[in-house]
């Protein structure tokens, strides 16, 4: 006897497959290079090159502080989400009754509910590690900015290489931040599984469509392509 029904397993496979395929298409394919995230990577590199020309770099320090604060906020939020998800285990019986009474609710056993809850916890743990590593990388970027050669050496090979390295490090931080946010979005879709596998399929499709629209057809992307 299996823990979950074939429909539950199919919905979970769709959820995991959608997450993996979306990440691959966005980060590893030529089409993904036309997305909003990839466009911002270009400006990260340009930012570091422009920094070489500035004598006073307080503005760059303020930008870095803003990026670090945003990342720290999401990392803290991830820990809160982990704690919130774990508290669901303490009210399993009451929540099972509530979910079963919903229009599309499917009755679940206690162990099924607990396994689903632990899956949600794993997603938030993954998000926390991504945000925490992103914060660490932004610390490294701040150090690299502090070590940036003076503007009088902006045309030297050493200065250009240092700026390029800093830009790539900043891109890496942004990539991990995006992965952490993606985990948050998919966690919202995962919540549909607590009601029914059919709802999990629907919420997964909705999450993918929303993220895809923001990357390739949103106003923000059009603004990046404006001439």
**Amino acid 113: pLDDT:** 82
How many domains, the chain?
1
The answer on pLDDT for 1 being more than 50 is no
| 23-54 tens-digit pLDDT | 999 999 998 889 999 999 999 999 999 998 88
CB of 170 closer than 8 Å to CB of 141: yes
Structural domain boundaries, residue 165:
6-220
The answer as to whether 114 is a domain residue is yes
Encoding tokens for residue 171?
């891109």
- Among 212, 152, 178, smallest CA distance to 21 is for 212
149: three-class secondary structure by DSSP: coil
The answer as to whether 227 is a domain residue is no
| 168-197 tens-digit pLDDT | 999 999 999 999 999 999 999 999 998 889
**Amino acid 207: pLDDT:** 97
The answer as to whether 40 is a domain residue is yes
| Least confident span in 100-114, 153-167, 203-217 | 100-114
């Amino acid at each position: 006897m299996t823990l979950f029904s074939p429909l539950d397993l199919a919905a979970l496979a769709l959820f995991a497959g959608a997450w993996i395929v979306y990440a691959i298409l966005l980060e590893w394919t030529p089409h993904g290079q036309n997305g909003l995230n990839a466009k911002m990577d270009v400006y990260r590199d340009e930012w570091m090159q422009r920094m070489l020309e500035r004598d006073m770099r307080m503005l760059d320090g303020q930008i870095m502080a803003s990026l670090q604060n945003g990342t720290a906020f999401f990392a803290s939020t991830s820990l809160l989400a982990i704690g919130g998800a774990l508290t669901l285990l303490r009210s399993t019986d009451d929540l099972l009754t509530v979910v079963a009474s919903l229009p599309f609710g499917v009755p679940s056993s206690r162990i099924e509910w607990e396994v689903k809850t632990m899956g949600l916890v794993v997603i938030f743990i993954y998000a926390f590690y991504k945000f925490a590593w992103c914060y660490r990388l932004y610390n490294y970027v701040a150090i690299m900015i502090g070590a940036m050669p003076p503007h009088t050496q902006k045309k030297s090979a050493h200065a250009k290489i240092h700026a390029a390295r800093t830009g790539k490090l900043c891109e890496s931080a942004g990539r991990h931040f995006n992965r952490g946010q993606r985990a948050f979005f998919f966690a919202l879709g995962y919540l549909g599984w607590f009601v029914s596998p059919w709802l999990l399929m629907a919420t997964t499709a909705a999450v993918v469509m929303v993220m895809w629209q923001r990357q390739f057809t949103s106003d923000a992307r059009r603004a990046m392509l404006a001439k």
